[in-house]
Amino acid sequence: MALKKQLEDKIFDMEKVAIAFDIEPFDIYFLGGAACILGEYTERATRDFDFIDLNYPSKLGKVFVQLRDFDMLEYESTIISPKYKERVIKLNKFKYLNVYLLSPEDIIVSKIIRLEQKDIEDIDELIDIADKELINQIIDEVLLRDDLYESKKDQFIKRLPKFRERYYV
């Protein structure tokens, strides 16, 4: 729980900076390890934030720097469904910024492209709370994307059989 509070405090700092610099509220969609901790999906120790780049203006840099360690993920190179916003969970404790977490199922699918040890450990925990039918639906949505970089799609397709075999999806 201490780690969750540390991550939340960084987002509260983002809100303070946004207000101080008169920056309009904006949406931010977290995925990866920080989303898993904030959503209480898993308890893996991570301090980095992954979020989807919504073509933010450069003036938001002073807000994002409050996260310290972060990766802004380009939509076209990220394994997510175009319908991810339909399944997000809003964190209502943040009153100024609109902070969302991707669903456990969307996070699982985003990790298939790598399937490194830490990804497998995350999926091992997430799969217990996930809807496997929804995972299959999300996989299909990703495979239908025309705007996903071909190299990323190829890598995803290459890893998919290993994922399906391990998790019976």
Per-domain boundaries in the chain: 2-167
Share of the chain above pLDDT 70, in %: 99
Separation of alpha carbons 70 and 51, rounded Å: 8
Q: What is the CA radius of gyration of the chain?
A: 16
pLDDT one-digit tens code per residue, 83-127? 999 999 999 999 999 999 999 999 999 999 999 998 999 999 999
If you classify domain 2-167 with CATH, what class do you get?
A: alpha beta
DSSP percent split of the chain into helix, strand, coil, nearest 5: 55, 10, 35
Report how far residue 44's alpha carbon sits from residue 33's, in angstroms, rounded to the nearest whole number.
7
- How many CB atoms neighbour CB 80 within 10 A? 22
Give the model confidence (pLDDT) of 134-167 as tens digits. 999 999 999 999 999 999 999 999 999 999 999 9
Residue 159's Cα: distance from chain center in Å?
19
User: Is pLDDT of 37 > 90?
Assistant: yes
Which pLDDT tens digit goes with each residue over 71-81?
Answer: 999 999 999 99
